[in-house]
Structure 1
Amino acid sequence: MAKNITFELSTVNLGPHEALSTKVQISSLEMGIYANNGTGKTFLSRAFRLSSKEELDSNDSNKLLTIGKNNGSFKFKISNTAEPGIFRELEFSINKDKIPIISKNTTGYLFRVFNDDYIKENLEGLKYKPNGEIDGYILGKEKIDLSKEKEELEKTKIELGLKERELKSKIAKAIEDLDSLSIRKNTGEYQNINYNNLFNSALNIVESEKFGDLITKHNQLKALPDNLQDLRNVSYLKKTTTPDQIIAFLDEKFTKSSIADGFKTKIKNKQAFIETGINLFKENNTNECPFCEQNLEENALKLIDQYLEYLSETEATQIKKANDLLSQLDLEKKENIETLKTFKNLEIEYLKNQKYIPSLANINLKEIKDLTELDSDYKTINTALKKKKDDISISLLNENIKIAIKNILLWIQDQNEKIQENSLIIKSFNDKKNNISSEKLDLNKRLCKARLIELKKAELETITEINNYNSKIKLLSDDILKKEQNEKVSKKQKVVETFTELLTKFFGSKYSFDDKTFCLKFKNHLLESNASDVLSNGEKSIVAFCYFIAETHKCINKEEDYNKLFFIIDDPISSQDFHFVYATSQIIRTLNKRFNIQRLRLIILTHNLEFMSIIIRNKIIDQKFILANNKLETLGNELIMPYEEHLRDVYEISQGTKNPSHTTPNSLRHILETINRFIAPDIELNAFCERIDNFADNEFLYSLMHDGSHGVLRLQKPYTDQMIKGACKVVSDYVLKDFAGQIKIITS
């Protein structure tokens, strides 16, 4: 048979197996493993049992760990050339005082493990009164023909698979696009791009820009100049009291000078010039003109006195104030114009570099209004001030002037508010420019969002089709399940039936089982609390094994689940008599028929060589190994089945195809002693041999067996080959007559 199955097993610090590593090719998963006591077979069964335990605790780790070690591991792997690409794996790690961690179980198997732990937990602790709390049903197959529905279901699953692969390839392309941009994989936005999120309606992703546009920004961000200077905002427009002074000045009525009007008119036109000259004249403290440096005559000095007199009066003072207000207003206007020019330059610089910062691409500086819109207001105020100079005795404040001044003040306030807003934008620009990694991260997140939105939009039709396929599959599956549920059987009922049947096979009418009290009966007496006292050690072992087999139904939910079973059986024959050992072997041999299993999966662990021989001779296992030196090695027939090898020698000698040898007497004795112990252990060998046809006629046969197989002084005469051949013929004929199957095995 082709060895197309690869069986791999490795452990670290698992009991005696500090570094077990095995990889063998086998033809089936019906295996027998022989191991001497203390070599760790029970630790292997415990390891497999972890996968089927409902609850794990730290004691499970401590029971498995090698003494003195703090951690260990177990790995089991099956692959089959008939199932290319499929790997059935079981992996777990153990740490001292901690719960085992099963990191992988892709076997698809239901492991059923029989060992001492099973007996202690399920029967010994309950004094061999099984727990009757068994709930649930095993769903059978609907007797009506569901092939059409199942064919439709399978077809839909195939179509779904094609669409899923198509969609997953598009997801892979989207991720590839992002990877080409060197986007970090640990961001939440990147990880959001997965199969499940395309169907997650609760996931609300928002991004206003397209993926392609954001790539352009991504490239612009990469092109950011290294030496780009910080932008500086314009200064705030000065808060001024000039408008308030103008209002007060225009509103007040002043007293005119008593000096002649002609002289005043002459001075008003050049008052500023005259004031400057007078001040210089006083500073020089001479009679020279401060402008032409000529000596001043009496008339000139008299004129200066008249100027001084005029300038000391109220009218001259107010005219000076009017001139000062006009100058001050004009100066502030020019300063504001300069601020506007500075802003224009700032705006140009910002617009030029704005493209490098994607998050600011759509954020522009607040525009500062042109001062020309206040020209008429300035003109109104200037005109009023000049008019006031002509006649300081009248009030010129009116509504138009108030509106003009208000407009100027509002303009200054409005522009300062915009400058304030711009300062935040400029600060943001500088901060982002100087911390470009943060800006890149933000843009990368936006790229991920945009790519997911784009993917979801582009694959909307495929997503809809997958949803429809899933809905159809659910409807078909529910319909099939509903029909299959029409035939179901109680798990408890199946456990009781199987347990009762197995007890009868082993004990006949001696022990039975009461399904109402869920306890054993001994000759119609309920053993509700004393079963452990009544049963012998061997009987306890048998009862435990029977219940283990029966309880298999508990882990089955659907009839198809029986084909997932994988039995691990560790020495089920402890303390059993020979006929019980044989019966146990036959129960194991028929597991596939009992559970209607298409392909039996079985590992038997034992330290009993005779039991190993039985399960091999009865073809219960196909693969036989010996566990030693931290690995599995093939076990030869000659080491475990000497009876068959002796019988083969004797039969071949009787047929003339082989010559007798010094081992032939020992072979004859071994055959007859084995049969004697099997069918009549209460009869001595010599008495047993007398029952064999032609044995008495071959008078030297008995002495040949003793003399030729014991290391004593030879007292008998030499035996010829013909005599020995005749003896072999007697024994071969006897086996052929009463046990023809044994001859058939060795000749097949």
Structure 2
Amino acid sequence: MITKISMKNVASYKDETTLETNKRINLIYGLNGAGKTQISKFLANQEDENFKDCKIEGLSNEQQILVYNQDFIEKNFYDTDKQQGIFTLSEENTSIKQEIENLQKELIELKSNQDENERKLKEKQEDIIKIENDFKDDIWKIKQNHSGNFKDFFEGKMGSKESFLNFIKSKIGEVLSLDTINQNINLEELKKQYNILTDTTQVKLENINEISNIEFKNIEDNLIFNEIIVGNQDSIIADLINKLGNGDWVKDGFDKYILQDSQTCPFCQSNTITPKFKSDLENYFDKTYENKIKEIEKLNDEYQNLFSNISNIETFYRRDILDSKDLEFEKLYSQVKSKLEENIRKIQEKIKEPSKKIELEKTEELFQNLNNYLKQIQQKIIEFNNKLDNQENEKEKLEKQFWEFAIFEKKEIIEKYKKDKNEKEINKEILDKGNKTIKENIQNIENTIKEKQKEVINIQEAVDRINNYLKDLGILSFCIKIQDDEKQEYIIVREGENKPSFKTLSEGEKTLISFLYFLQLCQGKKEKNEAILDKIIVIDDPISSLSFNYVYNIAQLIKEIFLRNKDSNYKQIFVLTHHLYFFKELIGFKEDYKKDIYTFRIGKNENYISHIDTMKEDEILNDYQAYWQILKDYKEGKIHAILIPNTMRNILEYFIGFIQKNKIDIIKNIENEDKEKKFEPFCRYINRESHSFMGNMSDAKEIDIDMFFEAFKKVFEYLGHLEHYDIMMKKGN
């Protein structure tokens, strides 16, 4: 079924205009010259170069377009004295005919099933396309989200969405399975590594060394710190000092006062310090005592020296790999330094109070923790420096990681896409198989029908039907007969003659016989073995040149054969006409096929450009209303001024005849009142005898249309029917 006809760049269709439909019956109204015939010509010969910019949508290879227009008449009647025979089924062999009818019903049902299948297939295909497009849009977001930060990885991949999708699909294939993708890849780390590898100013980082704790450990393990250091126990004053437990106090006083050769006691200020007392104290704080103190002092110096040799924390920083933001490193470093400072304080306390036991804090584990962390940093430094040494290879590795990350980021979308597409493709495959079976069944039935038709098919039935139609129309002066049974040809003959006489017929008779021939052609076929296809019927003005008596008959034939016959293989019907009575007769608002009808209007705008518009039910007018509509269309810029004078004359003839007034008298009265003679062109034109020949308007460009409207209104004013004029010109009337 045709769903859309687009007309462009042919004849008066300068701009593209479309006829869109989903109905079986399509009735198209338009004045002569509006552009109807171009549509029928296009449907009859779509390959014509003149129609290269015109398009049809919805037509399938299983459908045949049959067009009745002037070209059809020329080809089949004017250009030849003989017409090709039309093969139809004989009415005599009723049993075979019934079999064929049953097969054709089955064929119609199968084709209906095929159409439904095709509709579902189209839906599935549209679903698949939507799934693909949605997925394409989702994948495109990878480029939108990441191309700014990873520009080099997108080089050559920044083209269309389609090409980018194909690239991503190839990457998914390389990864093989989404489960193998490293889910721990961190985007920020990828950015960091990318910036390193693409920064031309990058230089290698200095290695970082661990801090040895062996010497610290040796001092911390020295047993002297847990030893009570006291003077010579053989000294005469040893018992007293031990009893008082103030050896460290005595030593401090000894060093500060007695060794200064003073005889004055620092407490009582009496000269009580004798040489003997000094000798006794010296004997108590002997060489052994002094050596132990010196050993502790030495250990203190060594420990402090080791401590001062530990580098400041800033010396460990290595740009982004280790910086002041690294709180873990700061914590480990601070723990080591704090413990060392605590031990220094304890050593100094031991020096001050040798008799006091102390135990230094063990820093080995803290050093180990710090050095382990430094090992990790050093490994990163090595990796960083290696990357700078192998930038291209490292960049390739990083790119692979990036695409794995990008794919994993879309994992759920990819899995949903695969699942949804697979489901739709399975359903489509099932429909495809079903469609194939239906096509095979259709082909088998068509072949069977062809075989059975050979037994009963002939060209005589069409002759009889055409002649019966002529008799029904009251035409007895000519008929159609078989000229050559072997060649299977017809001729049109006058009563009592046996020679072709088409060219001697009147124009109306030519129209009738050619249209009746076309009707039989639609119901039959030109070749015995012609394939049975669904037919799209196009009829362009079949009542042209016919008297009014035949308009009704032709309309009834079209309705009976095509419009009411829903179960036939007439898939779609297009009828184009300029005749409103014929148009309204076809519509048949009380008919049961009303819901199957779309109506259209073809017109020309003020630039002579044709346009197609849908026509609503309330816009379908009688002839008189149609002429008024032309005037209103002109006011809205829809048609050219050339139509206006002739339209006004038709309206006045209808109206003046209806009220039984004399047109000549009315025009004379208008002329008599027109002292300035401005209405003279109007009056002269209205009084012309012909009102159908548009050639008499060759001088229309010189006519003042506004003056015509003024004079036209003046006529109704003169007749006392100005209210009628206002009503008919009212918009929406």
Shared fold (TM-score, shorter chain, > 0.5): no
TM-score (norm 1): 0.38
TM-score (norm 2): 0.39
